[in-house]
């Protein structure tokens, strides 16, 4: 999400107790027929004008997917998904012109405005005076299955950074895409990733050339609008030698009684001395208090520290979705590489979260750090699942894990499932975990000072997650803080 | 009208009777002291006034400005101007003292329909108040009460009181854990706030605090009741003769 003041203000203004992004945009769309078969895959590939190899790649994934079973090991419980009951492609009918926002359907622009996502780069380029020091953020806005606008492309191009919808990258930079796509999350990786490989429709592509520090933060904003539509986005970020990029991702969806399906794949590749910082604020519609509706969020995110001294850092604030199944991971292949995972996962109502990370130490002197803060309220279930492993050759691997859970009320559950595997005797893994209930004394103290029960809970929870909030870009942290308060509404009293 | 009236207050916790028919009236502009042995129910009284859950009022009433507050939530009472300096201030990890103060002061002002302070105005006010209480500005960046020494916690409570500008401040053993210099600083902090519109209920175990915060009225509490009321000389008498004589009076 963007980091401009309007957004911050927008989020501040939000104070009613319901999902704030639940409105629907009425717009004509172009859809693939409902259901999933080889023709659906061909339809998508054709819509995107993809090269032939991409279609083959998708079809292979699809055939493989038919032989796979949906995983059941996560601590989540949901009705069986009928994969034939979804639309796998939906695009706003009026085709947006990619270099001019003026040609984007005004309804869509309004949607993003309502969400607080500024797509109006022209304004800034035209010299509208902005507060000093305000950071600019380039935004790629994905609406259902397609990218509707990507801002600041021209300026980014000057520094050599490629930031565009992946569908466009497939046409303009096919060799780069071909070289890296599926190289971190193989086509056959898991049920949801394989499904994504077959039917992914859009997402962002980023390439930062050697030695370049990306001049602004990059951001993709995902929105599912259409009914019964699955969103399968695919993001691929490559930081070439000695480069740096910070990328933010935000997500919302309208309120609907039916569950919507979201199965994304994100692949990050960091080459020698490169660093990627990837932040997410996930606020998909969580369903109502009784568990009706809400997004099923099955996401495969993985970063490959492919060469020495590279670094990948994941920061996530997860407040939405009915079901979250998500484990942003790092493969620490290069010697001296470093992986980080900072997570805040809040569940309320009937939400179920099973999230965590994997730190796979393969290279020498690799280090990783995991800070996870889980907050369960209402009747929700919140599980941290994390794997730390050191390969035989990963001498001096180091991991520090701190995993804290906070319970708000007594009808919710928090669980910690750590897996540790050290095949090298020099590996040192430290693991700390705590589970606590929000303290009545703390709440009373805050209330004596004038805070309502909800304000007090939000304040205590914000304190609890502070270590992770600090990892977010500053303006983003303000939004996240607000989101935390909002998502805890109705959890007390 | 009296600022605070406590009438025949009976309080139980887990079925155990702790306050047994306590009466107390406090007028604006006065300082009342309550003295009594450990376990006599002083903190219980403070908590019940502030609205802590778990305490069951079985009989009697508490009126602020003539209106019962027993059905009000703690934050509503706070917004009406009731402040409690805790005997054991609570730690809130990860929440900077400054943030806490600003959030709380503005929450109270909002409930009263007053405007929020602007950030610079607020910062200035807090820094000035902190300096007078000899509180290091760095302490304001630290999490609320986390890692504070006993004395620092008590000073921080007085700093909060200063910022809230309450109408009735209840100080529960604010003197415990303070050395003599800190006791002076804290007492001066309280004395600066004395005004015709504001009253204090100072709970203490020892007479020495009352050398610095000179009370108008002194009450002796024993076994959940006020057993004697007098002027400031009553505190001196207690110091000399101890509480034993009042134990019987409460029987
Ligand atoms: N939460 C509680 N549960 C049970 N008994 C309590 C509780 N709080 C206080 N008491 C009892 O109530 C009595 C009065 O306690 P308190 O009000 O703390 O006295 P004081 O502040 O005068 O020392 C004591 O006997 C104490 O043990
Ligand atoms: Mg006490």
Nearest CA in chain B to A441: B90
Ligand 1 atom index nearest CA of B46: 17
CA distance A274 to A279: 17
Which range has the worst mean pLDDT, A15-29, A210-224, A235-249, B199-213? A15-29
CB < 8 Å to B94, chain A: 462-467
The pLDDT > 90 percentage for chain A reads 48
Nearest to A188 by CA among A60, A302, A81, A326: A60
Q: Which of B74, B92, B164 sits opposite A463 (nearest CB)?
A: B92
Q: Which of B79, B90, B92 sits opposite A450 (nearest CB)?
A: B79
Number of separate helices (H) and strands (E) present in chain B: 9, 12
Bridge partners of residue B144, in order along the sequence:
B92
Give yes or no for residue B43 CB within 6 A of ligand 1. yes
Q: What is the pLDDT of residues B213-237, one digit of tens each?
A: 999 999 999 999 999 999 999 888 8
Contact partners, residue B16, CB within 8 Å, separation at least 6 = none
Q: Which pLDDT belongs to residue A136?
A: 56
Contact partners, residue A381, CB within 8 Å, separation at least 6 = A75, A76, A347, A351, A352, A353, A412, A413, A415
Is pLDDT of A125 > 50?
no
Nearest CA in chain A to B110: A450
Q: Which pLDDT belongs to residue A141?
A: 67
Burial of A487 (0-12, 13-18, 19+ CB in 10 A): buried
Is pLDDT of A6 > 50?
no
Which of B37, B39, B87, when mutated, tests ligand 1's pocket best, judged by the most ligand atoms within 8 Å of its CB? B39
Q: Is it true that domain B4-250 has CATH number 3.30.930.10?
A: no
Q: Which pLDDT belongs to residue A133?
A: 45
Nearest to A211 by CA among A278, A274, A304: A274
| Contact between A442 and B105 using a beta-carbon 8 Å cutoff | no
Q: Which pLDDT belongs to residue A287?
A: 81
Q: Is B111 within 8 Å of chain A by CB?
A: yes
Contact partners, residue A308, CB within 8 Å, separation at least 6 = A272, A273, A334, A335, A336, A337, A363
Residue nearest to atom 27 of ligand 1 (CA): B39
Q: Which pLDDT belongs to residue A290?
A: 80
Q: Which pLDDT belongs to residue A1?
A: 28
Residue nearest to atom 18 of ligand 1 (CA): B43
Q: Which pLDDT belongs to residue A492?
A: 62
Q: Which pLDDT belongs to residue A123?
A: 41
Q: Which pLDDT belongs to residue A120?
A: 46
Residues B239 and B207: beta-carbon distance below 8 Å: yes
Local structure of A233: helix, strand or coil: strand
Q: Which pLDDT belongs to residue A106?
A: 64
Nearest to A219 by CA among A126, A325, A290, A141: A141
Question: Which ligand is closest in space to the CA of residue B176?
Answer: 2
| Contact between A448 and B105 using a beta-carbon 8 Å cutoff | no
Q: Which pLDDT belongs to residue A259?
A: 76
Low-confidence ranges of chain B (pLDDT < 70): 247-251
Q: Which pLDDT belongs to residue A5?
A: 38
Q: Is B83 within 8 Å of chain A by CB?
A: yes
- Tell me the average pLDDT of chain A: 82
CB < 8 Å to A451, chain B: 75, 103-104, 107
Q: What is the pLDDT of residues A328-379, one digit of tens each?
A: 999 999 999 999 999 999 998 899 999 999 999 999 999 999 999 999 988 9
Kindly indicate the confidence band of residue A19, based on its pLDDT and cuts at 50, 70 and 90: low
* Of residues A309 and B181, more confidently modeled: A309
CB < 8 Å to A442, chain B: 90-92
Q: Across residues A243-259, what is the average pLDDT?
A: 76
Q: Across residues A387-415, what is the average pLDDT?
A: 94
Q: Which pLDDT belongs to residue A11?
A: 33
The ipTM assigned to this model is 0.96
Nearest to A384 by CA among A399, A402, A410, A400: A402
Q: Which pLDDT belongs to residue B211?
A: 92
Residues A330 and A341: beta-carbon distance below 8 Å: yes
Is pLDDT of A124 > 80?
no
**In which residue are the tokens 């760095």 written?**
B138
- What is this structure's pTM? 0.82
Residue nearest to atom 4 of ligand 1 (CA): B13
What six digits make up the tokens of B118?
């602007």
Residues A212 and A160: beta-carbon distance below 8 Å: yes
Is pLDDT of A23 > 80?
no
Q: Where would I find the beta strands (DSSP E) of B79-198? A: 82-85, 92-96, 143-144, 168-172
Q: Across residues A107-119, what is the average pLDDT?
A: 58
Is pLDDT of A145 > 80?
no
Q: Which pLDDT belongs to residue B7?
A: 97
Is pLDDT of A257 > 70?
no
CB < 8 Å to B143, chain A: 463
In what side-by-side order are the strands of the sheet with B225-230? B82-85, B168-172, B199-204, B31-35, B217-222, B225-230
């Amino acid at each position: 999400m963007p980091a401009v003041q309007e957004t911050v203000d927008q989020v501040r203004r939000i104070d009613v107790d319901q999902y704030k992004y639940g409105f629907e945009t009425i717009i004509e769309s172009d859809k693939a027929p409902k259901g999933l078969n080889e023709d659906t895959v061909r339809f998508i590939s054709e819509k995107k004008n993809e090269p032939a190899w991409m279609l083959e790649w998708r079809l292979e994934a699809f055939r493989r997917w038919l032989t796979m079973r949906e995983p059941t090991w996560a601590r989540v419980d949901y009705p069986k998904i009928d994969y034939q009951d979804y639309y796998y492609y939906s695009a706003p009918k009026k085709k947006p012109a990619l270099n001019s926002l003026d040609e984007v359907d005004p309804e869509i622009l309004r949607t993003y405005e309502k969400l607080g996502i500024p797509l109006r780069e022209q304004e800034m380029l035209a010299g509208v005076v902005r507060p000093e020091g305000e950071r600019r953020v380039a935004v790629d806005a994905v609406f259902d299955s397609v990218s509707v606008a990507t801002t600041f492309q021209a300026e980014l191009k000057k520094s050599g950074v490629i930031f565009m919808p992946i569908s466009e990258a497939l046409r303009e930079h096919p060799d780069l895409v071909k070289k890296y796509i599926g190289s971190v999350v193989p086509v056959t990786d898991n049920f949801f990733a394989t499904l994504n490989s077959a039917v992914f429709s859009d997402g962002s592509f980023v390439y930062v050339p050697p030695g370049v520090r990306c001049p602004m933060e990059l951001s993709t904003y995902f929105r599912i609008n259409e009914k019964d539509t699955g969103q399968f986005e695919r993001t691929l970020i490559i930081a070439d030698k000695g480069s740096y990029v910070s990328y933010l991702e935000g997500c919302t969806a309208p309120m609907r009684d039916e569950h919507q399906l979201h199965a994304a794949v994100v692949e990050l590749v960091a080459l020698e001395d490169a660093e990627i910082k990837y932040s997410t604020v996930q606020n998909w519609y969580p369903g109502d208090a009784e568990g009706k509706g809400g997004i099923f969020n099955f996401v495969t995110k993985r970063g490959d520290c492919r060469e020495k001294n590279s670094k990948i850092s994941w920061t996530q604030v997860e407040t939405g979705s009915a079901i979250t199944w998500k484990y942003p991971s790092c493969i620490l292949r290069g010697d001296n590489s470093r992986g980080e995972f900072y997570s805040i996962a809040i569940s309320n109502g009937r939400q179920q979260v099973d999230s965590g990370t994997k730190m796979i130490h393969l290279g020498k002197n690799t280090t990783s750090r995991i800070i996870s803060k889980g907050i369960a309220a209402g009747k929700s279930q919140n599980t941290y699942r994390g794997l730390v492993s050191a390969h035989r050759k990963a001498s001096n691997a180091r991991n520090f894990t701190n995993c804290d859970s906070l319970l708000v009320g007594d009808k919710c559950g928090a669980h910690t499932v750590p897996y540790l595997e050290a095949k090298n005797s020099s590996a040192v893994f430290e693991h700390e975990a705590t589970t606590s209930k929000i303290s009545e004394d703390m709440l009373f103290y805050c209330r004596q000072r004038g805070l309502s029960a909800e304000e007090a809970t939000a304040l205590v929870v914000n304190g609890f997650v502070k270590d992770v909030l600090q990892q977010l870009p500053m303006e983003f942290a303000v939004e996240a803080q607000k989101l935390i308060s909002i998502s805890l509404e109705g959890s007390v009293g | 009208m009296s600022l605070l009236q406590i009438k025949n207050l009976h309080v139980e916790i887990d079925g155990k009777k702790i306050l047994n028919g306590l009466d107390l009236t406090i007028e604006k502009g006065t300082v009342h002291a309550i003295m009594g042995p450990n376990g006599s129910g002083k903190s219980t009284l403070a908590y019940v006034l502030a609205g802590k859950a778990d305490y069951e009022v079985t009989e009697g009433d508490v009126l602020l400005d003539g209106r019962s507050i027993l059905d009000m939530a703690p934050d509503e009472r706070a917004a009406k101007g009731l402040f409690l300096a805790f005997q054991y201030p609570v730690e809130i990890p990860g929440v900077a003292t400054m943030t806490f103060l600003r959030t709380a002061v503005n929450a109270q002002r909002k409930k009263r329909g007053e405007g929020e302070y602007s950030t610079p105005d607020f910062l200035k006010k807090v820094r000035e108040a902190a300096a007078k209480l000899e509180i290091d500005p760095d302490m304001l960046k630290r999490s609320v009460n986390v890692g504070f020494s006993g004395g620092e916690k008590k000073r921080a409570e007085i700093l909060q009181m200063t910022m809230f500008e309450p109408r009735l401040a209840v100080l529960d053993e604010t003197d415990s854990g303070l050395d003599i210099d800190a006791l002076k600083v804290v007492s001066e902090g309280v004395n600066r706030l004395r005004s015709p519109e504001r009253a204090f209920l100072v709970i203490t175990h020892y007479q020495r605090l009352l050398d610095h915060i000179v009370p108008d009225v002194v009450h002796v509490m024993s076994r959940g009741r006020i057993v004697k009321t007098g002027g400031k000389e009553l505190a001196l008498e207690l110091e000399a003769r101890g509480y034993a004589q009042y134990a019987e009076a409460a029987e």
